[in-house]
Amino acid sequence: MPPREPDASSDPSATATTSIDPLSLEAQVCFGLALAARGVIGAYRPVLEPLGLTHPQYLVMLALWERGSVSNKELADLLGLDPGTATPLVQRLVRAGLVEKHRPHDERSVVIELTPEGRALRERAEHVPHVMVRRLGLEMAEVEQLRASMHRLITAAAQAGPPTEEELAALAGRAGGRRAAG
């Protein structure tokens, strides 16, 4: 049996020889990620509704179920949010009776903690991950692969740094050649 030709989707060097326009939407990693994020978050909506949570509120609750109590800044850091964005999320959860805020000895910071109702909600929420995996039609091996790929991508994006002089020159039209899509 002759050796198989490498599949273009699994061979990074094959990208340069494919006929996909590097500026097409389908070639953009950022576009695919944006669509996937919107789609997955939308799929969570009807699952979280019976719990009385939106997806961002669910993320806050996950952080609190995991950590117990956090400052607003710690919460924002955990969720990759600006502290000003985390505050209204917490306020809505306070009004719902799921969390409470109090000031420790340092009057400048606020600690966010679960109420008994917030702790009790965890038992009902334990079904959410399994329901979502089933709704999305994924196998656990695929979920683990996705998780590993996301962690690599998040790390790479955080470490990317500013564009190099060569990249800036190419963007300014001072260098030729086609670039890989991103």
Question: Which stretches does DSSP call E strand in the chain?
Answer: 69-71, 99-102, 111-114
Pairing of β 69-71 and β 99-102: unpaired
Residue range(s) defining the domain that contains residue 94: 26-156
pLDDT digits (tens, 9 = 90+) for 41-78: 999 999 999 999 999 999 999 999 999 999 999 999 99
Place of tokens 């966010």: 112
Would you state the pLDDT for residue 19? 81
CATH number for the domain including 62?
1.10.10.10
Please indicate, yes or no, if residue 181 is contained in any of the structural domains: no
Count of domains forming the chain: 1
The residues that bridge with 100 in the sheet, in sequence order, are: 113
Q: Residue 159 pLDDT > 60, yes or no?
A: yes
pLDDT digits (tens, 9 = 90+) for 83-127: 889 999 999 999 999 999 988 776 677 899 999 999 999 999 999
C-alpha angle 62/67/72, rounded to 5°? 85
Please indicate, yes or no, if residue 163 is contained in any of the structural domains: no
pTM check: above 0.85: no
Place of tokens 């060569």: 166
Nearest to 60 by CA among 43, 36, 77: 77
Nearest to 30 by CA among 181, 131, 146: 181
Please indicate, yes or no, if residue 5 is contained in any of the structural domains: no
- What whole-number distance in Å separates Cα of residue 9 and Cα of residue 18? 10
- What whole-number distance in Å separates Cα of residue 12 and Cα of residue 180? 10
